[in-house]
Structure 1
Amino acid sequence: MSENLRNASGSSSSSLGSSFQDTEDDHTIASILAEDGDYRASDNRLGKRLSHLDSFPHTPRINGEIPDVNDATVDHERLSERLATYDLTELQMEGDGNCQFRALADQLFRNPDHHKYVRRQVTKQLKHNKALYEGYVPMKYRSYLKQMKKSGEWGDHITLQAAADRFDAKICLVTSFRDNGYIEILPTDKTHTKELWLSFWSEVHYNSLYTNGDVPCRVTRKKYWLF
């Protein structure tokens, strides 16, 4: 009995410590925003240069099945050719299940390491605006929300919509899809104040996009998703 109490106490302390660290992280990000006066999102030069692109309507959805190796290879080649055509370069995100949130954090703050903060903001958006997103979730919404709170859980097109809504951002997605290579995700009933540019290797990986020559140099600690 006493052992169980010690275990429960340790678990509670760990949970409280984690919660405290999350709060500290949020305060750190808030300080960054206060210093800069706004999110450090990419400027609009890229958007102006690619304003001729026709976007496809965005429908929020969960992730589909991961393609087999042959299809994934073809998709990756298609995406690479598309990026070359648009004179874009990917800043590679770590393939740890957080790539979408890392890419969003890089576009917002020029730092992928703030992905935990971005995930928390997105899940808060999902939690407090259930009516906006529940219809796109083919499972119990509470289970979906609990799942998305976990670090390493892959983001989907529902979390992208929630991110657009939370950060008042237009998310510009260059994809490996055959027929809809460019998708714009707009905030719901809002005017966007920033643009975020991501690449999407269909059902496999997200990266942060820059014009050629503008990609920041960073030292990475983990393995990339690359062939």
Structure 2
Amino acid sequence: MSDPYGNASSSSGSSLNSSSHDTEDDHTIAAMLAEDEKLRYDGKLGKRLSHLDSIPHTPRVITAIPDANDATLDHERLAQRLATYGLAEMRIEGDGNCQFRALADQLFQNPDYHKYIRKEVIKQLKRHRNLYDSYVPMKYRSYVKKMKRLGEWGDHVTLQAAADRFEAKICLVTSFRDTCYIEILPKDRSPSRELWLSFWSEIHYNSLYQTGEVPTRTHRKKHWLF
């Protein structure tokens, strides 16, 4: 009797199915992106924070991570700010891809599209090196190669690249003591949408919504604990 699972054919079939699934995912993402390009942001969240002054944004890489005690205090400060402004976080997995997951949630209502976001950011970094090179304190090619890896933490350079690639104003409500709110604008063009993220102490990004309007997502992995 032959093996009903046929190792060789199973492997081949699995590969074909995986390739087909990836292609379908790409087509779905492309369709969603094309549809979203037609939309203009309505600024509902922006109206809540329109009275706040944002600081000039300078792209930078991560240089230091706070210790556990400082991080805890910073998170408490962030939670208080969000409550004050009527904002709530959709928790994003803390697997090293949180920046890209949060952006994917804002753009496509699905954090699982983080690989696509990272891929597009890398394309932006490669095609427009002159825009970002001066902010990277290491060999630029090494930086881009590092950022290609899944699980590599995004920084303010990748946020700027995302703002430029998706023509978006990225709005960060932060945990920093002296900086409540940061706006990251696309270079040399007007933004066609707003993306709202919370930013906790160089550690984690979540996706922001109005209180009571946080969507329910199906998460495959454990959330960031806070």
1:179 is matched with: 178
- Aligned: 1:157 with 2:139: no
Amino acid at match of 1:98: N
Cα 1:189–1:75 shift into 2, 3 Å: same
For residue 50 of structure 2, give the secondary structure of its aligned residue in structure 1.
coil
**Contact kept? 1:41, 1:109, Cα under 8 Å:** no
For residue 198 of structure 1, give the secondary structure of its aligned residue in structure 2.
strand
Distance of 1:21 and 1:117 partners within structure 2: 14
- Aligned: 1:135 with 2:134: yes
Amino acid at match of 1:30: A
1:27 is matched with: 27
Q: What is the TM-score of this pair, normalised by structure 1?
A: 0.87
1:225 is matched with: 224
Superposition pairs of residues 103-114 of structure 1, within 5 angstroms: 103-114=102-113
Amino acid at match of 1:215: V
2:83 is matched with: 84
Distance of 1:133 and 1:22 partners within structure 2: 30
Superposition pairs of residues 31-70 of structure 1, within 5 angstroms: 31-34=31-34, 36=35, 38=37, 43-70=42-69
**Contact kept? 1:39, 1:108, Cα under 8 Å:** no
Deviation at residue 223 of structure 1 after TM alignment: 1.7
Distance of 1:32 and 1:210 partners within structure 2: 20
Cα 1:171–1:39 shift into 2, 3 Å: farther
Deviation at residue 37 of structure 1 after TM alignment: 5.1
Amino acid at match of 1:160: L
- Aligned: 1:93 with 2:92: yes
2:14 is matched with: none
Kindly tell me the number of residue pairs found equivalent between the two proteins: 212
Deviation at residue 39 of structure 1 after TM alignment: 7.0
**Contact kept? 1:40, 1:110, Cα under 8 Å:** no
**Contact kept? 2:48, 2:85, Cα under 8 Å:** no
The structure 1 segments of at least 4 consecutive aligned residues displaced by more than 4 Å after TM superposition are 17-24, 39-42
For residue 31 of structure 1, give the secondary structure of its aligned residue in structure 2.
helix
Moved more, 211-220 or 42-51: 42-51
Distance of 2:62 and 2:108 partners within structure 1: 26
Deviation at residue 27 of structure 1 after TM alignment: 2.5
Deviation at residue 117 of structure 1 after TM alignment: 0.5
Q: What is the TM-score of this pair, normalised by structure 2?
A: 0.87
Amino acid at match of 2:194: E
Distance of 1:113 and 1:205 partners within structure 2: 17
Deviation at residue 26 of structure 1 after TM alignment: 2.9
Aligned Cα root-mean-square deviation (Å): 2.3
Amino acid at match of 1:29: I
For residue 126 of structure 2, give the secondary structure of its aligned residue in structure 1.
helix
Q: Percent identity?
A: 70
Distance of 1:176 and 1:197 partners within structure 2: 14
Superposition pairs of residues 185-204 of structure 1, within 5 angstroms: 185-204=184-203
Alignment deviations for residues 105-141 of structure 1 (CA, whole Å, 9 cap, x no partner): 0101111111111101001000000000000001000
